[in-house]
Amino acid sequence: MTLTGKVALITGAASGIGRAIAALFARQGACLVLADMNEAAGRDIEQEITSAGGKAVFNGADVTRSDDCRWLCELAVRQFGGLHVVVNCAGTIRRASVTEISEADWDRTMAVNVKSIYLTSRYAIPVIAGNGGGAIVNIASGWGLAGGPKAAAYCASKGAVVLLTKAMAIDHGPDGIRVNCICPGDTDTAMLRSEATQLGESSDRFLAEAARRPLGRIGKPEEIAQAALYLATEASSFVTGTALVVDGGGLAGSI
């Protein structure tokens, strides 16, 4: 599973799953365009990669904005000569039911989790096709396949990611572009821990509940990154339109 000679764009690259994917892809030889609104953390992962001999450039893009997404794809071409892989990892969550969530929070969740994929892909697909094809990996969620409590906007957005992935796979397979998504279970990230705060629960209790799955623990960002590497490389050359569940068995009895 190598990415030597490939150029990859990763959104949400400054922390959590996105950062783990960036680090792994760099070790596997990819030239990276990293995007995140957290400038300090984004510059940090850029420095970490380049100091280790990798190639990466960070841009503090807002991937809910069309101009920013177009710029990222242009940056990949200018900096590294093309684009072969996109990982749409930018994400947010607001724990609330439909009667509790504000319209602004609903719109923000949909913009970050769904619209960003549409915008990034809109500009990336012609470039990837022009380079002979490649792969798009979208980060969905187990809650894109099964519902969860007090997460109406998040579940709706991640369900949209799953079906958007399938539709894109149908449309762009003839262009030599494989489109898949990963549906992680609870993974040890700052975003997961923020959910405890939003729900008014202690972090320890919240994480203990999250670990109640067949493997008896939550996931590590690096484990999700390994799945992304598989879907981004020729190791998955006949895989497209799939939603790969990586959740320690959390959904095994649900779907």
Q: How far apart, in Å, are the Cα atoms of 36 and each of 6, 69, 96, 108, 187?
A: 21, 11, 25, 15, 19
Q: Would you say 90 and 11 are in contact if contact means Cβ atoms under 8 Å apart?
A: yes
Cα torsion angle, 139, 121, 8, 12, sign: negative
**How many C-beta atoms lie closer than 10 Å to residue 167's C-beta?**
11
CA separation for the pair 236, 240 (Å, rounded):
8
The catalytic residue among 118, 123, 154, 230 is: 154
**Residue 118 annotated as catalytic:** no
Give backbone dihedrals phi and psi of 94, rounded to 5 degrees, phi first.
Answer: -130, 110
**How many C-beta atoms lie closer than 10 Å to residue 107's C-beta?**
14
CA separation for the pair 147, 150 (Å, rounded):
9
- Residue 232, by phi and psi: left (phi above 0), alpha (psi -120 to 50) or beta? alpha
CA separation for the pair 22, 24 (Å, rounded):
6
Listed in sequence order, the residues at least 6 apart from 251 whose beta carbon sits closer than 8 Å to its beta carbon are 142, 145, 146, 183, 185, 245
CA separation for the pair 239, 9 (Å, rounded):
20
Active site residues: 154
